[in-house]
Amino acid sequence: MDLNEYFQSYENYFWEWETDEDIAGDSGYHDNNLISIPNVGAIAYRPYVMEILKELQLQGWPPFGALLMVLYAMQDGYTDFATPLKHTASLHSIGNFDFTAEKSIEFLEKLKALNKVYKQGQNRIVLLQTLFKDAHNITAPGKAEMILTVYYKRPHLLAASAEKKYASPSAIHRDLSTLIVLNEKFPTIQSIIDAMKDYIDEPELDDEVVEEETTIETDKDFIQQLIEEPKTFQVGSLIKRIWSGLRIPMRHLSPGEQPIGGISDMANKGDFHRMLLSEFANDDEVFMNRIANNEVLYIQREIPPEENIFERVILIDTSLRNWGTPKVMAFASAIAVIRHPKAHSECKVFALGQASLPISLDKPEDVIENLNQVSPVLEVSEALEKFFNEQHPEKDLEVFFITHQENLDQEKIRKVIHENRDRLKFLITTASDGELNFYKHHKGARKHIQKIQLPLQELWANPPQRKVKSSTVNGKKTDLPQNYPILFPTPSNKITQFLYEGEFYILSSKKQLLKTYLSDNYYDRNSYDYYKTYHGCEVLIEDISVKPRGQFALAKNKQQHFILCQYQADKKLISKLNLNTKEYSEFNVTGLNIPSSYHLVYFNRNFYLHQPTNSSLYRINLEGNLSVESVFNDDYEIDKNSGKADAEVAKLNRGGMKIISNFNRMGINENNNLVISGNELSRLYNNSLNLYKNRFTVKILAEQNKNKFTFQDGSEIITDSRGMLTFKSSSTGIPVFYIPSTEYGFLALSTHTEYGGSEYYLPKQHLLKVRTMEEMYSQYLTAFIDHILDYGA
């Protein structure tokens, strides 16, 4: 099976390749970057699916269609996998081929019902590995690795797979039978959880699963809690000001049944059971005459107006244009509507991005978490349309849509709003200068209700005091991720370095296996000419138990585990270490009388002790138990291969950087620049960022707790001795960003979506939007420092 065969799409099938023009593709190939279900919705973007396949590579791949439906069933929110699967099965059931999707749907329903904690973060990978271990119709690990290698080198080959072909019965059977076998293998939801237990940390799961809602009485109301929490202060301080000017009706009333004539609560029309008792005192003839002439009096009490039952929904735009201050205003507006003193009806909130995600704003912790909702899309017309047409087609909705004022200029947004104006009752727009505009749809027309101008500078002038723990001795070290959106600086201190199947690897002095690469493709040759071939590295494996002595060679076994072979000539000892499983074995070669001139190399699925131009070799097996045997080789292919490998790997010799790994002091100097362990973070050259010796007085100091430095406003800098700084501002308008910590070199600044600076730190495959360092410095680092300074003022 090759790349095109594995990723092939078919006519009238339940998935297809699409192109999202607003999202840059990985590997420089922008077409066919999205996989979706026809007429239903998106499954996932291509880079994400490729990362999943990379994680599953060691155990082999399930059929691509089966994997896609499993990923789709694991999504939060609205999903519809039954309709496309049934349609595909019935459409292709012709002649002797009768396909049914019921068992496949039954299994996907189990995945959908599985508690979300098992489908988040690393547990998602564990779940996929558990489901597809020894799966039906598996693609072998070797084939999977080959397909991935071809993809990353020539991603444009996917274009052929995107061209739909006729779906043969074997293709449909391959996908459906895999899901059917999984349904039999996991008859219940609990059976899936039980299968995962050996691979996940159960206590942490229990903490997340057993989460009961409790009502805690407190003297502080919800808005005051938001104001007193630094991370929600900006949102909380706007709400009461919005209340003071808000003219949106908090509930809608219908008139109910009114009196039908007469005065007060009596009328001459009504039901017989409401007739006044005094009427029965008349003679029978008079009584019947009064009835016939509609003269009888009835009691007709006024009925209070009835409240119409409309489900109120608030949609918050989390696209690129609604980030920062507009997003803070959007969340403040939503909470103002939900928590208004006259509002008594239940309200649901959704964050709109690539899809609509239900969120909660009931507690300060929820507000903090959901303020970090970000989406890389430029506008949310697709998610908004799906919300109305597919996810919530019911008519009894009263929808509020909160977005940036500039988004109303987008044709797609205007079209969706116009088509759904009967249910989209209110439109609220935000702007960076604090302006809120409220619109109402009435009888098919949009009417501007009011404008509120929020004095942001005044309302945000006195942020709350952050309570910082004074003890720095017993604090717990802040957890660090294995990798970041950008590369680590490559350390200059190395044990050794390898070239394996065209990829460069480094065994660092900190006992880490690193992966790096070289290139000469630069977007800024003038500023970063020094780094025209070198790049940073990503961490593959940490805490490797190895002594930094002797010779080393690296390879992968059939299970795609890294095998590190070590030869200590002075001890006459050869060892093998599986870096993934930590399995270790050694062999004493004293009796073989191996000359000291022999060197350890890897060639053609084996390790060798080898001397150039000498046909006598010692072979060390890669697979199985460690063994060493003397072999004869007269074609000298190993000589040629090892010579080329040595020449290639020598290119890494000058690629190391001086990393700042010991952090003891952090603050802001009189130049309003950050000072990090005696080094000033500043721009010495145009479009650059550098760390050089600080020569100015430090006027604001951060408090240290292990590897975390906290300023008085609550902003944090988390240090990583491997060479990375994480910046977390207490302002919700500033996203988390990262800067490498290396001396005397051009640095980079990156968020999870944008990147600026030296390409040395730019990953080989990425979806980051590249901007100039001037833009990144102003938008993120300057804003981070200014927020701290404004708090001190």
Q: What is the pLDDT of residues 22-33, one digit of tens each?
A: 565 555 677 888
- The pLDDT assigned to 301 comes to 52
Residue 34 banded pLDDT, cuts 50, 70, 90: confident
Calculate mean pLDDT across residues 530-556: 85
- Residue 108 forms beta bridges with which residues? none
pLDDT reading at 203 higher than 50:
no
Residue 635 banded pLDDT, cuts 50, 70, 90: low
Half-sphere exposure of 516 (CA within 13 A, CB side): 28
Alpha-carbon span 791 to 713, nearest angstrom: 6
Alpha-carbon span 357 to 373, nearest angstrom: 10
Helix or strand (DSSP H, E) at 662:
none
Residue 562, SS3?
A: strand
Express each pLDDT in 392-450 by its tens digit: 776 667 888 999 888 888 888 888 888 888 778 888 999 888 888 888 887 778 888 88
Residue 790 banded pLDDT, cuts 50, 70, 90: confident
Alpha-carbon span 597 to 575, nearest angstrom: 19
Find the distance separating the first CA and the last CA of the chain, reported in whole Å. 65
Residue 207 banded pLDDT, cuts 50, 70, 90: very low
Calculate mean pLDDT across residues 68-94: 82
Express each pLDDT in 505-539 by its tens digit: 999 988 999 999 887 654 554 444 444 578 899 99
Alpha-carbon span 489 to 261, nearest angstrom: 87
pLDDT reading at 219 higher than 50:
no
- The pLDDT assigned to 527 comes to 44
Closest CA to 610 of 585, 628, 623, 591: 628
Cα–Cα distances (Å) from 295 to 287, 290, 291, 584, in that order, read 9, 5, 6, 106
* Sheet with 679-682, side-by-side order of all strands: 690-693, 679-682, 674-676, 666-669, 698-701
Closest CA to 569 of 584, 589, 591: 589
Higher pLDDT, 396 or 742: 742
- The pLDDT assigned to 501 comes to 86
Here the tokens at position 734 are 């500033």
pLDDT reading at 54 higher than 80:
yes
Q: Which residue has the tokens 């008519």?
A: 395
pLDDT reading at 736 higher than 60:
yes
Express each pLDDT in 699-730 by its tens digit: 999 998 889 999 988 899 999 999 999 999 98
Query: Rg of the chain over CA atoms, in angstroms?
Result: 34
pLDDT reading at 303 higher than 80:
no
pLDDT reading at 791 higher than 50:
yes
Neighbours of 138 (CB within 10 A): 18
Higher pLDDT, 50 or 209: 50
* Sheet with 16-18, side-by-side order of all strands: 16-18, 34-37, 41-45
pLDDT reading at 652 higher than 80:
yes
Alpha-carbon span 249 to 344, nearest angstrom: 12
pLDDT reading at 486 higher than 90:
yes
pLDDT reading at 201 higher than 50:
no
Alpha-carbon span 690 to 749, nearest angstrom: 11
Alpha-carbon span 787 to 328, nearest angstrom: 15
**Statement: the pTM of the whole predicted model exceeds 0.75:** no
* Helix axes of 46-56 and 64-73: crossing angle, nearest 10 degrees: 110
Alpha-carbon span 250 to 525, nearest angstrom: 59
Helices (H), 595-719: 637-649
The torsion angle over the Cα atoms of residues 390, 392, 394 and 400, rounded to 10 degrees, is -130
84 close to 40: Cβ distance less than 8 angstroms: yes
- Residue 552 forms beta bridges with which residues? 566
- The pLDDT assigned to 475 comes to 61
- The pLDDT assigned to 250 comes to 60
- The pLDDT assigned to 709 comes to 93
Closest CA to 560 of 33, 5, 59: 59
Residue 238, SS3?
A: helix
Name the percent of the chain lying above pLDDT 90.
17
Higher pLDDT, 264 or 788: 788
The most confident of 170-174, 220-224, 490-494, 538-542, by mean pLDDT:
538-542
DSSP state of 511: S
Residue 85 banded pLDDT, cuts 50, 70, 90: confident
Mean pLDDT of the chain: 82
Fold classified for 222-252+310-459 = Rossmann fold (3.40.50)
Alpha-carbon span 227 to 642, nearest angstrom: 66
Phi, psi of 110 (to 5 degrees): -65, -45
Q: Which residues contact 379 (CB under 8 A, 6 or more apart)?
A: 22, 319, 321, 407, 410, 412, 413
- The pLDDT assigned to 249 comes to 65
pLDDT reading at 205 higher than 50:
no
Higher pLDDT, 82 or 270: 82
Q: Where are the domains of the chain?
A: 3-209, 222-252+310-459, 257-303, 494-652, 666-792
- The pLDDT assigned to 216 comes to 32
Cα–Cα distances (Å) from 4 to 58, 202, 223, 533, in that order, read 20, 40, 56, 32
Cα–Cα distances (Å) from 591 to 572, 574, 595, 599, 630, in that order, read 9, 13, 12, 18, 12
Strands of 281-390, DSSP E: 298-299, 306-307, 311-317, 347-352, 356-359
pLDDT reading at 559 higher than 50:
yes
pLDDT reading at 44 higher than 90:
no
Express each pLDDT in 338-348 by its tens digit: 888 777 667 88
Residue 489 banded pLDDT, cuts 50, 70, 90: very high
Express each pLDDT in 123-148 by its tens digit: 788 888 888 888 878 888 888 888 88
Q: Which residue has the tokens 């980051």?
A: 768
pLDDT reading at 776 higher than 50:
yes
- Residue 616 forms beta bridges with which residues? 632
Phi, psi of 503 (to 5 degrees): -110, 145
Q: Which residues contact 776 (CB under 8 A, 6 or more apart)?
A: 749, 750, 754, 755, 756, 757
Q: DSSP readout, 148-185?
A: HHHHHH-GGGHHHHHS-B---HHHHHHHHHHHHHHHHH
Express each pLDDT in 661-697 by its tens digit: 888 889 999 999 999 988 999 887 777 898 988 889 8
Neighbours of 289 (CB within 10 A): 13
Calculate mean pLDDT across residues 154-164: 88
Annotate 335-365 with b (16+ C-beta within 10 A) or e (fewer): bbbbbbeebeeebbbbbbbbbbbebebeebe
CA torsion sign for 183, 187, 190, 193 is: negative
Name the percent of the chain lying above pLDDT 70.
87
Lowest-pLDDT range, 306-310, 321-325, 567-571?
A: 306-310
pLDDT reading at 288 higher than 70:
yes
Express each pLDDT in 367-400 by its tens digit: 888 887 777 677 888 888 888 887 777 666 788 8
Here the tokens at position 674 are 């950050």
- The pLDDT assigned to 26 comes to 55
